[in-house]
Amino acid sequence: MNDTSNSLDQGYGPSNRWWLLSLVATAYLILIQHRLVIGYVQVPLAKELGLTDTQTGYLDTFFLIPYGLSQLFVAYLSDRFQRRRVLASSLMASAVCLLAMGFAGSFHQLAGLRVVLGFAQSASVPAIAGVMADCFTPKNRSTAVGFYNLSLNLAVVLVGTFGGQLADMPGMDAPDWFPGDFEFSGWRLAVLFFGAVGVVGATVIALVMPEPKRTERESTRGLGQEAAPLSVTLKSVLSARSFVLFAVTFGAFCVVDNAQNYYLARYYVEQFGMSNGDAGFFATIYSRPAAFAGLLLGGFLADRWARRSIRGRVKVQILGMMVWVPALCVLGMAESRVVLAGTMVVTGLAYGFYIANLWTTAFDVVDPAARSTAIGMLNVIAVPAAFTSPVIGTLRDQGVLELGEAISGLSLVAVLIVALLVFNAVKLLPRDFRVVRPAETPDLLDFLDESAESSEMNPTESG
């Protein structure tokens, strides 16, 4: 890549930053489809393979645990090696695994492949995060992350709609050249289709994606310009107490988001008698476009509030999570589709406000030479959230609660998220903030700044 394409453009990043953003966003769109397709075909899948609710819940966990834990090691690869190669390899491995999943004949085979899928995808998001941090500056990072995460929401709409429609299709006999007597049921066709898309995507990333230059590393500060050993990098990341609390908060967020993604469409199938295709469409068509708006607006507000307050990005997250609480309560109780549609719009907006600033709040407090490692650690610390789906499945098998009650109960977790974000903004963030501090000016939620000033004047109470 030549110097012109990677030159800074008025302090906003290299001139090819939007091209790079489009490539990593496309890769993420495919990865999310691979990750979530099982949730949108689980009714016919469970029927064909004879799975209990507990077993279908564990299919989510068997992906999330290896995906999260392995990032303790593989996220570091992107702080040392070319992100382009790491991302292309991870995406291709994910695609191959999904193709194999289309031929699974039992719960144990499917569970094993979900474990492999978790390992395959684990290096992808830290690589993407490293690219994003180097392509955009603090002036526009939240906006860029908001645009990037549009791919996640588009992926959910696509996999929910087309995955469900494919799952509703009648089975197809394998062609004559295929070994054995095998029938491709609808859910298998869905899995194979998205796996084939992944093969194409990985090939494109490997062939056309340029590698951006590393930015903001300082030879006389922190980890320096070259990546440090893994142990030193991890110590640097975990020494930022605000980052650790951001990661714990993300874990609580994943408890809610995982359950929503995995069970909401099934709830509509069971509660309202929808087909898999209609349920997948209804579960995504209102919330995900709203999330588009939330990501763009949340990123826009955060980049501007961050110029006036070091807590600007966190304030946007707090606003989003405050409206998430009542929306989740309604989501599991409403019987009107009109009310549910409006509620899903609210949850989408709230989701966008939080996610648009997830990575950027981490970039504000960790060493630039440890960015990919830090994003990996978000998922490592959030691993306990992987047990959400099987816990809900087990409680259903035992007749303790219904899906609607479980979804409404997630609002209690959202209350915890708000409390953790407020505590972090007031107590920990001022000590760890790394970039040039903006001049503090009054803004919405300015009580955070007033509380922080009080605690900073009396450090013995904030230790």
Kindly report, residue by residue over 44-62, the tens digit of the pLDDT. Answer: 899 999 998 889 888 888 9
As a whole number of angstroms, the distance between CA 132 and CA 10 comes to 17
Q: Which of 39, 91, 53, 340 is nearest to 203 (CA)?
A: 91
Task: Answer whether 365's CB lies under 8 Å from 232's CB.
Answer: no
* 457 pLDDT higher than 70: no
* 30 pLDDT higher than 90: yes
Confidence of residue 6 (pLDDT cuts 50, 70, 90): very low
* 385 pLDDT higher than 90: no
Query: Is residue 378 situated within a structural domain?
Result: yes
Which tokens is 410 given?
Answer: 């997630």
* 439 pLDDT higher than 60: no
Q: Which of 461, 463, 396, 391 is nearest to 431 (CA)?
A: 463
Task: Note down the domain range covering 287.
Answer: 17-212+227-462
CA 398-403-406 angle, to 5 degrees, is: 90
As a whole number of angstroms, the distance between CA 246 and CA 314 comes to 10
Q: State which amino acid sits at residue 340.
A: L
Task: Answer whether 187's CB lies under 8 Å from 46's CB.
Answer: no
Which tokens is 391 given?
Answer: 């816990």
Q: What is the mean pLDDT of residues 318-322?
A: 96
As a whole number of angstroms, the distance between CA 235 and CA 185 comes to 49
Q: What is the mean pLDDT of residues 88-98?
A: 96
The per-residue b/e assignment along 197-227, b for 16 or more CB within 10 angstroms, e otherwise, is bbbebbeebeeebbebebbbbeeeebbeeeb
pLDDT, tens digit, for every residue of 116-134? 999 999 999 889 988 988 8
* 304 pLDDT higher than 80: yes
Task: Answer whether 304's CB lies under 8 Å from 140's CB.
Answer: no
CATH code: domain of residue 38? 1.20.1250.20
Query: Is residue 221 situated within a structural domain?
Result: no
Helix (H, G, I), strand (E, B) or coil at 410: coil
Q: What are phi and psi of 170, to 5 degrees?
A: -70, 160
* 461 pLDDT higher than 50: no
The pLDDT value recorded for residue 122 is 92
Q: What is the mean pLDDT of the chain?
A: 85
Q: Which of 51-55, 91-95, 266-270 ranks highest by mean pLDDT?
A: 91-95
CA 286-288-292 angle, to 5 degrees, is: 120
Length of the chain as a residue count = 463
Task: Answer whether 250's CB lies under 8 Å from 382's CB.
Answer: yes
Query: Is residue 10 situated within a structural domain?
Result: no
| Residue with more model confidence, 317 or 41 | 317
| Residue with more model confidence, 137 or 458 | 137
The pLDDT value recorded for residue 459 is 40
* 177 pLDDT higher than 60: no
Confidence of residue 207 (pLDDT cuts 50, 70, 90): very high
Query: Is residue 4 situated within a structural domain?
Result: no
Q: What is the DSSP letter of 370?
A: G
Q: What is the mean pLDDT of residues 420-425?
A: 96
Q: State which amino acid sits at residue 436.
A: V
Query: Is residue 218 situated within a structural domain?
Result: no
Query: Is residue 407 situated within a structural domain?
Result: yes
* 168 pLDDT higher than 80: yes
As a whole number of angstroms, the distance between CA 1 and CA 84 comes to 12
Q: What percent of the chain has pLDDT over 90?
A: 41
Which tokens is 436 given?
Answer: 């040039």
pLDDT, tens digit, for every residue of 355-374? 999 989 998 999 888 888 89
Span of 177-186, 191-200, 208-217, 249-258 with lowest mean pLDDT: 177-186
Q: Which of 38, 41, 163, 203 is nearest to 113 (CA)?
A: 38
Which tokens is 435 given?
Answer: 């970039």
Q: Number of C-alpha atoms within 13 angstroms, CB side, residue 400? A: 10
* Count of structural domains within the chain: 1
Confidence of residue 448 (pLDDT cuts 50, 70, 90): low
Query: Is residue 115 situated within a structural domain?
Result: yes
* 173 pLDDT higher than 50: yes
List, as one string, the DSSP characters of 267-305: HHHHHH---HHHHHHHHHHTHHHHHHHHHHHHHHHHHHH
Check the CA dihedral 253-255-259-262 and report its sign. positive
List, as one string, the DSSP characters of 198-246: HHHHHHHHHHHPPPPPP-S--TTSTT-SSPPPHHHHHHHHHT-HHHHHH
Q: Which of 43, 1, 24 is nearest to 271 (CA)?
A: 43
Check the CA dihedral 334-337-339-340 and report its sign. positive
The per-residue b/e assignment along 408-421, b for 16 or more CB within 10 angstroms, e otherwise, is bbbbebbebbbebb
Query: Is residue 5 situated within a structural domain?
Result: no
